[in-house]
């Protein structure tokens, strides 16, 4: 009888980081990485929490935690989870957020071609970026939620109407220029989107730009979402500091997915 144990083994891939960064001016220093976790390829569970963090007067938060998990029996399905959450975030008194959550879950069925993904639960609560304010932003909805697999994204990129919707979510280049979406039949290794542009939001909230430039602060990126065939990576908030304090800060990032055992 054929032994299916190895064929049914799954290589989980999950990690989560609450906050990290680097300052290059007026001094050089690394902001200590907070609540970093990585899941073994065999799966399992891990969590960690940090309370009352403050880095000078540049970055602080009341609490943060990360969580990773990977489960699945011999016959699957294999499920992988990454979560990073921060409460009472404050960056230079210009960016504040009551709570932000990065959550990416994936599932892979034995015999399947690729895992499916969801960002349901990823959100901002009471986010202020300079003069912008959103009471709530839900990052688990929109056209990308209807493309949970690489194959469905590939098909959507070949559909005129859906492609137009995805084009509006395309992640801008570092200089702000739009990045052309690939054709569905010529997929690269990774495709980048801005989940915030498709976010569900409270009725009184203003529109959500993917890239916000604030004079005397820098450039703020919301909901950066990197799509690979077998993994997804979400960074809820990334800041390129361009004020008297120069450097970069990322908060609430997670990666989830995995691969079937090599045949």
pLDDT digits (tens, 9 = 90+) for 68-93: 999 987 777 999 999 999 999 999 99
Residue 179 burial (CB count, 10 A): 13
Structure tokens at 114: 């690729």
| pTM strictly above 0.85 | yes
Sign of the Cα torsion 143, 164, 258, 260 reads: positive
Residue spans per domain, the chain: 10-260
The predicted structure's pLDDT at residue 169: 85
The percentage of residues in the chain with a pLDDT greater than 90, rounded to a whole number, is 67
Range with the poorest average pLDDT among 66-70, 131-135, 158-162, 250-254: 158-162
Q: Are the C-beta atoms of 119 and 141 separated by less than 8 Å?
A: no
Instruction: Tell whether the model's pLDDT for residue 182 goes beyond 70.
Output: yes
Mean pLDDT of the region 10-27: 97
The predicted structure's pLDDT at residue 1: 36
The predicted structure's pLDDT at residue 6: 40
> 32 CB contacts (<8 Å, ≥6 apart)?
20, 55
Range with the poorest average pLDDT among 42-46, 124-128, 159-163: 159-163
What does DSSP assign to residue 170?
Answer: B
The predicted structure's pLDDT at residue 2: 41
Residue that is written with structure tokens 């569900």 in the block: 200
Phi then psi for 142, rounded to 5 degrees? Answer: 105, -175
The better pLDDT of the pair 223, 261 is held by 223
Instruction: Tell whether the model's pLDDT for residue 3 goes beyond 60.
Output: no
Instruction: Tell whether the model's pLDDT for residue 114 goes beyond 70.
Output: yes
The predicted structure's pLDDT at residue 202: 58
Average pLDDT, the chain: 90
The predicted structure's pLDDT at residue 247: 97
């Amino acid at each position: 009888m054929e032994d299916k144990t190895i064929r049914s083994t799954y290589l989980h891939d999950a990690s989560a980081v609450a906050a990290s960064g680097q300052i290059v001016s007026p001094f050089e220093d690394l902001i200590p990485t907070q609540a970093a976790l990585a899941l073994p390829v065999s799966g399992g569970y891990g969590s960690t929490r940090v309370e009352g963090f403050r880095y000078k007067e540049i970055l602080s938060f009341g609490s943060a935690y990360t969580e990773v998990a990977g489960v699945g029996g011999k016959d699957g399905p294999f499920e992988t989870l990454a979560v990073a959450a921060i409460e009472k975030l404050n960056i230079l008194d210009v960016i504040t957020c009551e709570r932000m959550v990065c959550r990416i879950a994936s599932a892979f069925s034995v015999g399947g071609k690729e895992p499916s993904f969801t960002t349901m639960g990823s959100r901002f609560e009471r986010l202020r970026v300079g003069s912008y304010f959103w009471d709530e932003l839900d990052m688990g909805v929109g056209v990308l939620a209807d493309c949970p697999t690489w194959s469905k994204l590939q098909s959507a990129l070949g559909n005129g109407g859906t492609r137009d919707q995805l084009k509006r979510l395309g992640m801008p280049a570092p200089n702000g220029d739009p990045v052309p979406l690939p054709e569905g039949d010529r997929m690269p290794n990774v495709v980048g989107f801005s989940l915030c542009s498709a976010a569900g939001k409270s009725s009184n909230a203003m529109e959500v730009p993917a890239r916000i430039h604030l004079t005397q602060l820098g450039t703020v990126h919301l909901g950066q979402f990197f799509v690979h065939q077998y993994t997804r990576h979400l960074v809820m908030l990334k800041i390129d500091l361009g004020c008297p304090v120069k450097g970069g800060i990322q908060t609430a990032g997670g990666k989830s997915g995995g691969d079937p055992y090599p045949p």
